[in-house]
Amino acid sequence: MIDRAIQFFLAGGWVMYPLLVMSLLSLTLIFERLLFWVFSAQRTGPRRLAVYLRLYAADQTSDQTNRLAKASKNDCTLEGNLVATATSSNTTNEAILIGHIESMRPSIERFSSMLSSIIAAAPLLGILGTVTGIIRSFDLLGNAAAVSDPSIVAGGIAEALYTTAFGLTIALVTLFPHIYFKSRADRTLGRLETLAGVISEHRSTDSQIKD
C-alpha cells in the first residue's frame, strides 16, 4: 500500500510536491477549525441565544442587569462575551455592539479564505500537471524513432492523470468541511446580530422607562 502510494506520488512529477504541501495545509486548517467549533464553541448556538433572550424578555426589575452579568460572567461562548460587553457599560448602543461582533468575526471566519484558495488552486495545479505530462508525451511521440519502450510515453500520460486526480481529491476533501465551517460562521454571526438588536432595544426601552 505504501509502496503504491510512493509510486503514485513519484509518477505524478514535480507538481505533486506543491499538491502535497497544499494537502497537508488543508488537513491542518480543517483540524484547527474542528477544534474551534467542536470544543471552543461547543456551547454556542440557538440554546445559548434562547437563554439570553428569555432574560431580556423578563419583566423589568432592578436586578435584571445583575442577573445578566452573573449569567454571562463565566460564560465563554460568543453570546456570553457579547452580553458581558453590554452589561459592563451603561452607554453600549447597537453600533458599539456591532463593532464588537466585527472584532470577533476574524476568529469565527478564521482560515475561510485560505480554504477557499485551496479549493480553487488544487484542481488548477492538477491541470498544470496534466498539461506538462501531455507535453512530455507529445515530445516523445514527436521523436518516435528514439522511443523503444512504450512505457516511457505511458509515464507522461500517467503524470497527467495522477496530478489531476490528486488535485481534485484535495479540492473535494477541503470543500465539504469548508461549507460546514462557513455555514456555522454565518449562523453564529446571525445569532450575535439578533442578540445585539435585542440588547439595544432593551436599553432603549429601559432608558424611556427611567425618563
- What is the structure's pLDDT at 205? 60
Residue 21 confidence class, pLDDT cut points 50, 70, 90: very high
113/110 Cα distance (integer angstroms): 8
What's the whole-number average pLDDT of the chain? 79
Determine if the pTM surpasses 0.85.
no
Length of the chain: 211
Asked whether residue 130 carries a pLDDT value surpassing 90, the answer given is no
Asked whether residue 61 carries a pLDDT value surpassing 80, the answer given is no
Lowest average pLDDT, out of 22-26, 28-32, 56-60, 143-147, goes to 143-147
- What is the structure's pLDDT at 95? 79
142-167 average pLDDT score: 69
161-179 average pLDDT score: 93
Distances (CA, A) of 4 to 9, 11, 175, 177: 9, 10, 26, 28
Q: Which residue has the higher pLDDT, 26 or 152?
A: 26
- What is the structure's pLDDT at 63? 61
For the four alpha carbons of 199, 200, 201 and 204, in that order, the dihedral sign comes to positive
- What is the structure's pLDDT at 31? 95
Residue 112 confidence class, pLDDT cut points 50, 70, 90: very high
27-36 average pLDDT score: 93
Q: Which residue has the higher pLDDT, 186 or 208?
A: 186
Furthest CA-CA distance within the chain: 97
